[in-house]
Chains A and B, each alone.
Chain A
Amino acid sequence: MRASVATRSLVGGPSLGRATLVIGGALVVFLASVVVAVGLGSVEVGLPEAIGIIGQRLGLPVTETWAATAPTILFEVRLPRVLAGALVGAGLGGAGVVFQALLRNPMADPYVIGTAAGASLGAVLAITAPVLVPALALGAGTAWLGIGLAQVLAFAGGLGAVALVLVIARQGGRSNVVTLLLTGYAVSSLLAAVVALLLVSSGRALASVVGWLLGSLGGAGYPELAVAAPLVLGGSAWLLVRWRTLNLLLLGDEAAAGLGVDLVPARRGLVLLATLVTSAAVALAGTIGFVGLVVPHLVRLAIGPDHRLLLPVSCLGGAALLVLADMAARLVGGVPVGVVTALIGAPFFLWLLHRAAGATTTP
């Protein structure tokens, strides 16, 4: 038997060397984006000052070269936003990969089976309730474990909507991918209609509602981050180890089952984990679009479809993208981060389609 060393290194997925290079590279990009975003904002607290402030906080003897307000800006205003951006971006990037594999559809994003619609309904209800029913004037101080009501209801709404979609889709016999997609679309449309109704009746809360729907990292404080982080990071980690199942699902249901995948529990587990991560992300920052759709494609173009690398790199890439998008939004001023991601995402998507159309004509 020819045991060629050359074949050996090609065989069996990415070698350790390539894996380290790719994931290491993604990590570097992510950390660089965090560093840049922390150093830029409406106020001049640049990177040297930031390093100095952090050093001082750690007890190192550093001469103060910054304004008295700089530490507050850094730790209380900028850092939570950057951390939120990293968390949400990572969650959406990873969940996007999972849904695209699960539904075998390149147009799928993490919101497609109802998460966005359900979370929007929850949050908008929380925001408009005091306006619609004055007796419920809950005021700015409403919090539960230090977290706003809108976040809690958004999280619950996201999970609830997906549960509804899964139950309905199962009624039609064995739930297959197309049924799931269509049911998700139908339920999302219904919930979105209710949200639209609330939007129109929102009165003075209109600006808040629109702001939430467009997505923003400004509303995330440390208490919210502390709750969202384990959900997003834990859920994503659990998804990362399921890379093999995701690869197999790409071969089609029959082939995947033939290779040992127990379809129903595997899909259910993936949907639940990905929905958990997505709902936590949406609860934290609203329905930020395009990250979950575009990042998986970008990463796939760069490093290929093997989920072993695709998942972790998409998480890191999504985090980097959102952190940088939020930085751009902050610098331009008053622009919701969802607008920036749309401005990046839409042209990229058109380019993707153009490329795909070109590819099908080549032999």
Chain B
Amino acid sequence: MPARRIRAFAPFLLILAVACQPASPSPSPPKPSMAPSAGAYPLVLTDDAGRQVTLPAEPERIVSLAPSNTEIACALDACDRLVGVTDFDDYPAEVAEIPDVVILAVVDIELVVDADPDLILAAGNELTPSAVITQLTDLGYPVLVLYPASLDQVLENIELIGEAINAREQADSLTADLRARIAAVGDAVTGAARPRTFYEVSVFAGTIYTAGRDSFLASLIELAGGDPITGDALTFAIALEDLLVADPELILLGDAAYDPSVTPEAVSARQGWGAISAVQNGRVVVMLADPVITRPGPRIVDGLEALARAIHLDRFD
């Protein structure tokens, strides 16, 4: 493939893989365990891939291989300890100053080594290729693999990273805050009828991509009070016939956040889509919040709130 194609392809891959992680992966990896909060190093933690990772001292130089991990680190006031991030990182603004060690989704090992980290935060589910994780582990770096497949697991990841970098207090206060907001969303949508909701991740080369069955995104939609229409668990695709049979009452356009040509009018004009209830009732909504909905970091709750608002506008001010 020419380089340009890869460039266009990469964010799509990232979004797909992140958004459509199965909510309950099988085999389920052991949940991260934490030593009693004594803040004493050396520390042994179990990450989302079931690996035992030893941290000899409090990490001063952190490399993050995924935007979600970067956001978590910054949310825990450790932005100044980051020495390497990815070129997709865009939040918070400070990360623009930090050198990139992951370019176009390819981890540059030389740059990682040059950054001389004492903790590497990798992403699971092959977002960071397992070969790279092996290579970095073999080079002697502590690598924490994070793979949250549900909202609860995101919160657990925040606590895990907090434990790892001696920021347990910040982690606890952040998760408490997030839990409160999640509960608030739950309260707001209790009792409301669940509309059949179709979340469009992308329409690419004639194939429609959406939340996979039992995926993270599907679970978010459920929490936000919708009844998600899902695609194949493996390929995340759904055939148009199946979509028509499922007949969503609400269509959320996640790809509109990246592609200005995806508008409610354009969608309504698509061949065969006119028969869908959501199109006929004009309930096709642009989801500019897609970047936070699909990033399993602290702002995912912003995403949840955006989803809930889109699904049950009447329940919010």
Chain A complexes with chain B: yes
Residues of A within 8 A of B (CB): 41-43, 67-69, 72-73, 76-78, 131-132, 134-135, 137, 139-141, 148, 200-201, 203-208, 210-211, 214, 218-219, 221, 330, 333-335, 339
Q: A139-B49, A148-B131 are in contact. Are A41 and B235 (CB under 8 A)?
A: no
| B134 engages A67 (CB within 8 Å) | no
Q: Which residues from A are CB-within-8-Å of B26? A: 134
| B114 engages A69 (CB within 8 Å) | yes
B234 within 8 A of A: yes
| A334 engages B110 (CB within 8 Å) | no
Docked Cα-Cα span, A4 to B111, in Å, equals 64
Q: A131-B234, A148-B131 are in contact. Are A334 and B1 (CB under 8 A)?
A: no
B2 within 8 A of A: yes
Q: Which residues from A are CB-within-8-Å of B108? A: 42, 333-334
B280 within 8 A of A: no
| B126 engages A67 (CB within 8 Å) | no
| B126 engages A43 (CB within 8 Å) | no
| A73 engages B134 (CB within 8 Å) | no
Q: How far is the CB of A334 from chain B (nearest CB, A)?
A: 4
Given known contacts A67-B116, A76-B113, A137-B27, what 5 new A-B pairs fall within 8 Å (CB)?
A43-B111, A78-B110, A140-B130, A203-B234, A206-B13
Give the interface segment out of B99-107, B219-227, B251-259, B306-314.
B99-107
Q: Which residues from B are CB-within-8-Å of A67? A: 114, 116
Q: Which residues from A are CB-within-8-Å of B105? A: 207, 334
B133 within 8 A of A: yes
| B104 engages A333 (CB within 8 Å) | yes
Most buried by B among A134, A137, A201, A203: A203
Most buried by B among A42, A67, A334: A334
Q: Which residues from A are CB-within-8-Å of B6? A: 334
Mark contacts of B51-82 with chain A using CB atoms, 8 A cut-off: 1 yes-contact digit, 0 otherwise.
00000000000000000000000000000000
A sample of 6 inter-chain contacts (CB < 8 A) reads A67-B116, A140-B130, A140-B131, A203-B236, A333-B106, A334-B108
| A204 engages B27 (CB within 8 Å) | no
Q: Which residues from A are CB-within-8-Å of B134? A: 140-141
Docked Cα-Cα span, A134 to B233, in Å, equals 12
Docked Cα-Cα span, A212 to B239, in Å, equals 29
Q: A139-B130, A201-B234, A203-B234 are in contact. Are A43 and B110 (CB under 8 A)?
A: yes
| B133 engages A73 (CB within 8 Å) | no
Most buried by B among A132, A141, A214: A141
Docked Cα-Cα span, A201 to B236, in Å, equals 10
